[in-house]
Amino acid sequence: MANLVSALGDLSAAEDAAQDAVETALETWSRDGIPDNPGAWITTVARRKAIDRIRRDKNRAEKSEALARLNLRHAERSDDELEEETIVRDEQLRLIYGCCHPSLSAEAQIALTLRAVAGLSTPEIASAFLLPEATLAQRLVRAKRKIRDAGVPFKIPDDAELLARTSEVHKVIYLLFNEGYAASDGDELIRTDLCDEAIRLGKLVANLLTDDAEAFGLVALMQLTHARRPARTNLDGSLVLLADQDRDLWDQELIDEGNEALEQAMRFAKPGPFQIQAAISALHCAARTADATDWEQIELLYRRWLAMARTPVVALNHLVAVSMVEGPKEAFDRLERGDLPETLAAYAPYWALRADLLAKLDRDEEAKAAYQTAASLAGSAPEQSFLQQKATQSDLTPGTN
């Protein structure tokens, strides 16, 4: 959209044109498959359509008036405009459900969504996933060929399928968000636009399924996580841990929105992993200082989450909460007792937690070795340098990590 706006200099015309273009795209793509460069294709088609439109609407109101129209509150919009919005929304949803079709591999789903829905370029997606560009391009070509040859539909699934299909879409949206948030890319820790896009898509899907608790839970989780983003890195790009973050930098407006979405989700009384994670995030956001964090509630929530999904990462996070509630000794003992899967040994956060606990137990040498291992396994440059610094730090006094 930003592309188009600069090309056309008229936001409203650009929006109309983009809508036309997406409409055309959906027709053409489900017939002929997705083109090699969908983003550029949409922009080209949109520009052409916008020119048509401007020619058609010679008497159209001035640009300023058109902009004012965009700022009208929802309730003041005309029926035509509301209908137009519904059309755009439905088209985007069709695009999402098509890209996240279960007949495509999980990798293809996320790549296609990033490409066709979020408008990322092939090199951008490749670098986000640490894949050679050729591999990613091949993956997209294969997926597009399957869409065309196998007749993968771009449509909102029938009611019977909707819930199951939506949970697939949720996975892709959340992956997209995490890619933006954690950006294993190395160069850029946070890619705000990816996170914003994920939140936008999450809302779109939540509003389609007005009765899916997890859809709202996902939106809440992303908002409550994203709200802390401004405090998450220093000016030089280095990481700031939650406990050390300047909480005044948190985006209070987004926190409020997230809490609202979480409340909406909880009204359905159908808890799920996204809602639990959102609730944990909400508790962090509610604490004015790190010391004020309600770790007991958080520990309970992790325990509940573990009961639903016993994954290594959840188990690890639960242990962090245990260390806050029952102390580092208890957490370390549980870590040592080894009821965690072996795959964790290749996972940087496992070594970071182990190191933190060792440091708190005054076992500095072992802690440094563990930080060293964590640093060697970390995915992004800021994470790496953060852990590396820990490994060589002389004083590992608890509270500084």
Binding stretches for another protein (CB under 8 A): 101, 103, 149-153, 155, 157-158, 161
Q: What distance separates the 2 farthest-apart alpha carbons in the chain?
A: 77
Would you say 156 or 240 has its CB closer to another protein?
Answer: 156
Contact 198, 177 (CB under 8 A): yes
The one-letter code for the residue type at 119 is G
Q: How far is the CB of 146 from another protein (least distance, A)?
A: 9
Would you say 151 or 338 has its CB closer to another protein?
Answer: 151
Contact 51, 106 (CB under 8 A): no
Q: 143-172 burial, b for 16+ CB within 10 Å, e for fewer?
A: bbebbeeeebebebbeeeebeebbebbbeb
Report phi then psi at 238, rounded to 5. Answer: -75, 155
Would you say 157 or 237 has its CB closer to another protein?
Answer: 157
| 3-state secondary structure (DSSP) of residue 242 | helix
Q: How far is the CB of 23 from another protein (least distance, A)?
A: 19
Would you say 153 or 312 has its CB closer to another protein?
Answer: 153
Q: How far is the CB of 33 from another protein (least distance, A)?
A: 13
Would you say 154 or 181 has its CB closer to another protein?
Answer: 154
Would you say 106 or 345 has its CB closer to another protein?
Answer: 106
Would you say 152 or 172 has its CB closer to another protein?
Answer: 152
- Name the one residue in this structure whose structure tokens are 């029952």: 326
Q: How far is the CB of 151 from another protein (least distance, A)?
A: 5
Q: Tell me 370's DSSP state.
A: H
Q: How far is the CB of 205 from another protein (least distance, A)?
A: 18
Q: How far is the CB of 161 from another protein (least distance, A)?
A: 7
35 vs 172: CA distance, rounded Å: 21
The one-letter code for the residue type at 184 is S
25 vs 96: CA distance, rounded Å: 13
Q: How far is the CB of 166 from another protein (least distance, A)?
A: 14
Contact 43, 3 (CB under 8 A): yes
Q: How far is the CB of 158 from another protein (least distance, A)?
A: 8
Of 331, 254, 325, the residue nearest 294 (C-alpha): 325
Would you say 31 or 288 has its CB closer to another protein?
Answer: 31
- Name the one residue in this structure whose structure tokens are 């498959």: 33
Of 311, 206, 188, the residue nearest 268 (C-alpha): 206
